[in-house]
Chains A and B, each alone.
Chain A
Amino acid sequence: MSATLTQKKSIASVKSNAESFLFILPAVLIFSVFYIYPFSQIFNLSLREWDGISLSRPLIWFDNYKELLGDKIWWQSLWHAGYITLFALTFQNILAFALALACDREMKLKGFYRVVFFIPPILSEIVVALIWKWILYSGMQEGQHIGLLNYFLNRTGWHHLINNWLSNPETALTCIAIVHSWKGFGWGFIMLLAGLQTIDRQLYEAARVDGAGPLSVFKNVTIPMMLPVIVVVLILTVLGSMQVFVLILGMVGQGLVYHTEVPVTRILTAMQSGEPRFGYACAMGINFGMILIAVSFTMKLISSRMKQA
């Protein structure tokens, strides 16, 4: 009798387990087909020479990776992404922090500023890229500068600054970095402001009563209290800026010139050029992914060390 009861129970629990599993089945199916399978393929393909069409995909082991080590344009593209990232880490985040500090008080227009600073982040990269491309346009017609920036420089007497902003190798990358920071600073602003508002006002009061000046309050109260938020903002900035590329496709296009190439545009070029190299593109993807993981892991490690200290 008791045996049949436990049997019945176990059948019921198997049925219940299967029923529960049905809830995650759609998610698991989609995820397996569109994430896990491509994920496993990227390793497989990176060990092969393949043009994306032909049936044979000869295994060449690590030749793609060896070639990557000596690929100057690849390392140059990594440096370009690094340059944009350093620019965003400093200028974009300092601006975001300054704005957040400025808004961290009872004041008029605070709601207005919050709304406006977050407009660039909600726009698409294509829209942002094409608007700025139009403003930075460097052509002339009937002796007039077409682009707003050059026109403005001409009218205000800064002739010597007039430039082919996006086709000049010396300015193109910086222009992209500025537009990228313009689009991104609202994120940092919102997150840092939210962090600042959680700091207990009494901490500031106590520090002031102890005779601390504004700078010392900032250094000894604000920064330590904000450290977790700052780390999140920094990691998001690094991951976002290193992988920027749609902005570049929109502002200068792809594969025409090397001075604005970043890793992801290199991957795209490798798979879309006249002689596509899917295997090499996958090797680039893995190489770049590992660099990103290493960088964000190091940042997390440093921040946890700082917390202990």
Chain B
Amino acid sequence: MNSCRVMKEAQSVLIHIFLLIVALTCLFPLFWMLRSALMSRATIFTDKSLIPSELIFSNFHTAWTEGNFGVYFLNSVIYTTSVVAGIVIVSSLAAFAFSRLQFPGKNFFFYMFVAAMMIPLPGSFVPLTVLMNQLRLGNTRIGYILCMINVGLSLSILLLKTFFDKMPSDLEDVARIDGCTKLGIWRHVALPLASPAIAVVVIFNSLNVWNEYILAQLLLNDKSLMPLQRGLMEFQGAHSVDYHLLMAGLTIAAAPIIIIYLFMQKHIIKGLSSGAVVC
């Protein structure tokens, strides 16, 4: 009996060692990024101590102003908020109609959105770029925002429709009898009740827009319009020796995501995995 317990203890220690090693490999590159962001151009190539003797916090300021990361950051905030707001409004309206309202062609349009998610189309950015230039929406904020709304639309409609389908319609019936319009029901009854599903939509799409790179590369040429991910590539192409500033820029790009994640990790993990399963 005793030896059995010893075996169990030993097994548990081994499991923890394994898990801790993997956890360390997850965290160490981030630590190395932060550490490198605090060094000078002279020391970053030679000093390999874990915690350098001199920590230069002004690197963040230099990257923010001279590295243009302030502009990139602001652009990322603008794109993320407007795309997510757009997706929430457009997709919740559509999902509400697909779940609750009757009109001809309902199933056709719904399966059109679902099919778009099932068919991978790796080269779709080629004709999209052509179209954006034809519409004179290339290299504009609104063009990039509309494209990104479209990217998140199908999944968000599907997530919200599934949620609406499971939601009891009693409250909506009461509102209808009280003379509430369809739009009023959407605004005052359906949206508030669907807030857990909307949270999933917000989380999934915020991360998607904040981390997006390829459309930003193809559609935006002006530095004043670029979001962070694009700006990082731009910076590393132009200042290949300023690794300390690049690492400061990476920290600026990663920090908001990590901080928000640490505060809301339960919701984020749940939201992202339910989003992935629907895909």
Complex Cα distance A298/B113, Å? 23
- The residue that B276 contacts in the complex, of A31, A34, A141, A191, with Cβ under 8 A, is A191
Determine whether B192 belongs to the interface, using a CB cutoff of 8 Å to chain A: no
Chain B residues positioned under 8 Å from A278 (CB to CB): 126, 130
Residue-wise, chain B 95-118 has the 8 Å CB interface mask toward A (1 for contact) of 011100111100001001100100
Q: How far is the CA of A95 from the CA of B129 in the complex (A)?
A: 39
Q: A115-B265, A119-B258, A267-B122 are in contact. List 6 more A-B contacts (CB 8 A).
A: A115-B262, A123-B258, A130-B236, A191-B277, A282-B123, A289-B119
Contact yes or no, B157 A119, CB < 8 A: no
The answer to whether A24 has its CB under 8 Å from any CB of chain B is yes
Inter-subunit contact B120/A293 (CB<8 Å)? yes
Counting contact residues on chain B (CB < 8 A from A), the size range is 35 or more
Cα(A20)–Cα(B94), bound, Å: 9
B26 touches A24 (CB 8 A): no
- A82: Cβ under 8 A from any B Cβ: no
Q: Is B147 an interface residue (CB 8 A)?
A: yes
When the two chains form the complex, which single residue of A19, A41, A128, A249 contacts B131, counting CB atoms closer than 8 Å?
Answer: A41
Query: With the chains together, A17 CA to B104 CA distance in Å?
Result: 7
**Set of chain B residues within 8 Å of A91, measured between Cβ atoms:** none
Are A119 and B27 interface neighbours, CB within 8 A?
Answer: yes
Contacting pair B46 A23 (CB below 8 A): no
List, in ascending order, chain A residues with CB within 8 A of B272's CB.
121-122, 190
Q: Say yes or no for A52: interface residue by CB 8 A criterion.
A: yes
Query: What are 12 A-B contacts with C-beta separation under 8 Å?
Result: A23-B94, A31-B150, A122-B257, A130-B236, A130-B246, A131-B32, A131-B33, A134-B246, A236-B276, A236-B279, A245-B214, A281-B123
Separation of A45 and B134 alpha carbons in the complex (Å): 15
Q: A24-B93, A118-B265 are in contact. Are A42 and B258 (CB under 8 A)?
A: no
Q: How many pairs of A and B residues are in contact by the CB < 8 Å rule?
A: 242
Q: How large is the interface on A (under 10, 10 to 19, 20 to 34, 35 or more residues)?
A: 35 or more
Residue-wise, chain A 32-75 has the 8 Å CB interface mask toward B (1 for contact) of: 01111111011001000000100000000000000000000000
CA distance A135 to B121 in the complex (A): 33
A99 within 8 A of B: yes
Residues of chain B from 225 to 245 with CB closer than 8 A to chain A in the complex: 229, 232-233, 236, 243
Residue of A nearest to B128 (CB): A38
Question: Quick check: which of B14-22, B62-70, B167-175, B193-201 contacts chain A, the rest being far away?
Answer: B14-22
A94 at interface, CB cutoff 8 A: no
A37–B272 CA distance with the chains assembled, in angstroms: 29
Question: How far does the alpha carbon of A164 sit from the alpha carbon of B104 in the complex, in Å?
Answer: 62
- Hey, which chain B residues are within 8 Å of A264, CB to CB? 122-123
Partner among A30, A52, A117, A194 whose Cβ is within 8 Å of the Cβ of B22: A117
Q: How far is the CA of A107 from the CA of B186 in the complex (A)?
A: 44
Note all chain B residues with C-beta closer than 8 A to A34: 128, 131, 146-147, 150
- B residues near A128, Cβ cutoff 8 Å: 29
